[in-house]
Amino acid sequence: MPKLNIRVVKNSSDLAAAAADAVIDAANAAIQARGRFTIALSGGSTPEKAYELLAQPPRVAQIDWSRVHIIFGDERFVPLDDPRSNYGMAARTLLAHVPIPRSQILVVPTDMASANAAAQAYCNLVASHWAMNPADFPPKLDLILLGLGDDGHTASLFPGKSSLDEHRAWFIHSAPGVLPPPVERITATFPLLNAGRLVIFLVAGEKKKDIVHAVLTDQSHKYPAARISPDGGNVLWLLDAAANGMGQQAAINSFFREANP
């Protein structure tokens, strides 16, 4: 059972700083232990400020970027220069400003004929980068950053979609969910996400407080985000006070007390 931690900070600026510092801590621990740091970046808007902080002094000097390997937890099936591209957002806020070898940034090939072809090619790209077989168990990434959608999706694993049932492939294509942008996606699957050493959810804002509570007390795995449970890994929910709403830890404690009298 993974360890679940919840950390609540005052506001979205403190959330970005806490997220950037958590990335630095995970990077330095991984580089010390294994000589490299492997991370899956999240898309969406929440992580943008954290990525910007990582690309600026003093934080930018606190990671040996030559040891960093970056993949994407999900991507929209759009050109990389499309404003909806998760790669485009990461490049604008972080990747264009840090001395990471370009060969260590694994970009989803969204110029392929279909999202399905792009997902299959991405599996092969990630596997070959680490001399692995895409039919084998997925890589144990040091850190996976995830967001949370209002419908309980994470990465591009949307409620009710067949991508939730994928138990072998590391990445799969997904039809659009109900939330914008309504484009085909390529998403990491539960096998890859649940192989992570550390998963950090970054969630901010009042409008997320109900879904955060619903996911954190979801025993029936109704929400995709509730199925993130890395074997032997840890999960940290980094929330700002607005997203924490009714005080998640208290709610969860009381929920589990009821469930396990």
Nearer CB in complex with ligand 6PG: 135/178: 178
Q: Beta strands 234-240 and 3-9: pairing type?
A: parallel
For the bound state, the minimum distance from the C-beta of residue 73 to ligand 6PG, rounded and expressed in Å, comes to 6
Which residues contact ligand 6PG (rule: CB under 6 A)?
A: 42-46, 74, 86, 147-149, 153-156
For the bound state, the minimum distance from the C-beta of residue 31 to ligand 6PG, rounded and expressed in Å, comes to 26
For the bound state, the minimum distance from the C-beta of residue 257 to ligand 6PG, rounded and expressed in Å, comes to 30
* Ranges of H-type helices in the chain: 12-34, 48-54, 86-93, 115-129, 190-193, 209-216, 241-244, 248-259
Nearer CB in complex with ligand 6PG: 67/186: 186
Using alpha carbons only, what angle is made at residue 124 by residues 120 and 130, rounded to the nearest 5 degrees?
A: 150
For the bound state, the minimum distance from the C-beta of residue 44 to ligand 6PG, rounded and expressed in Å, comes to 3
| 102's tokens | 């370009």
Using alpha carbons only, what angle is made at residue 134 by residues 130 and 136, rounded to the nearest 5 degrees?
A: 95
The CA distances from residue 177 to 159, 180, 182, 215, in Å, are: 8, 7, 7, 17
Nearer CB in complex with ligand 6PG: 134/205: 205
DSSP 67: G
Nearer CB in complex with ligand 6PG: 44/196: 44
Nearer CB in complex with ligand 6PG: 43/138: 43
For the bound state, the minimum distance from the C-beta of residue 199 to ligand 6PG, rounded and expressed in Å, comes to 13
Q: How many CB atoms lie within 10 A of CB 210?
A: 13
Q: Which residue is nearest to ligand 6PG (CB)?
A: 147
